[in-house]
Amino acid sequence: MSTRDHTESEAYRQEVRKAKRRKGLVIVNTGNGKGKTTAAFGVAFRARGRGMNVGILQFIKPGTARFGEILAAREAGIHVEGSGDGWTWKSKDLDESAALAIAGWARAQEYIAERKFDVLVLDEFTYAMHYDWLDTAEVIAWLQEHKPEDMHLIITGRYAPDALIEYADLVTEMTLVKHPFNDQGIRAQPGIEF
């Protein structure tokens, strides 16, 4: 970075600090790499540590799931709720999977409209739009009209629609470089994957 670039960058940082502008962000974690949900849970724990009210609504995992992050989140006072029937590629009834996702979105809408949480994670929500169970344009239009200005909303999952990426304030794409299952035949392990 040149001296000029550094000076301009520092001036911008100072300007932003003085403005003290804040807003509830729409954050999207997407991509084929591991870590989308893990990153969202990390923000959830950080927010809870700051005394914020935090909710996580999972669109693929069922309410009976007992993964490590779910157990720890509940112990920390984070509301975690499953609205799915397991992994879509293992579903015995995709119509039921779609119905559960639609019901999960209705539940998310209630939470958003009620201002129930300061931070709300819609985990694996992108799949509902990717599989056309929900119309992306309608989801975004509803959020634009109803999401409280100060509520942070985190959406995770592969295949985030372009319109959702455009709407979001922060988008991170997890890229798969190497994976122990694919490269070494090592199965998912407690404490790492679940």
What are the tens digits of pLDDT across the range 37-88?
A: 999 999 999 999 999 999 999 999 888 888 999 999 999 999 999 988 876 5
User: Which range among 85-99, 135-149, 179-193 shows the weakest confidence by mean pLDDT?
Assistant: 85-99
pTM here is 0.89
Domain with 26, as residue range(s), is 22-184
In a domain, 13, yes or no: no
Strand 170-173 to strand 26-30: parallel, antiparallel, or no bridges (unpaired)?
parallel
**Tally of domains within the chain:** 1
The one-character DSSP state at 90 is: G
In a domain, 16, yes or no: no
pLDDT for res 147: 98
At a CB cut-off of 8 Å and minimum separation 6, what does 128 contact?
A: 59, 98, 101, 102, 104, 105, 134
pLDDT for res 183: 85
Q: Any idea how long the chain is?
A: 194
In a domain, 194, yes or no: no
At a CB cut-off of 8 Å and minimum separation 6, what does 35 contact?
A: 29, 174
Q: How many beta carbons lie within 10 A of that of residue 81, not counting itself?
A: 16
In a domain, 2, yes or no: no
In a domain, 143, yes or no: yes
At a CB cut-off of 8 Å and minimum separation 6, what does 172 contact?
A: 27, 28, 29, 30, 31, 39
In a domain, 49, yes or no: yes
Tokens read off for 102: 């639609």
Q: Could you tell me the CATH number of the domain that includes residue 104?
A: 3.40.50.300
| Closest listed residue to residue 128, CA positions, set 54, 36, 60 | 60
In a domain, 10, yes or no: no
Higher pLDDT, residue 182 or 4:
182
In a domain, 9, yes or no: no
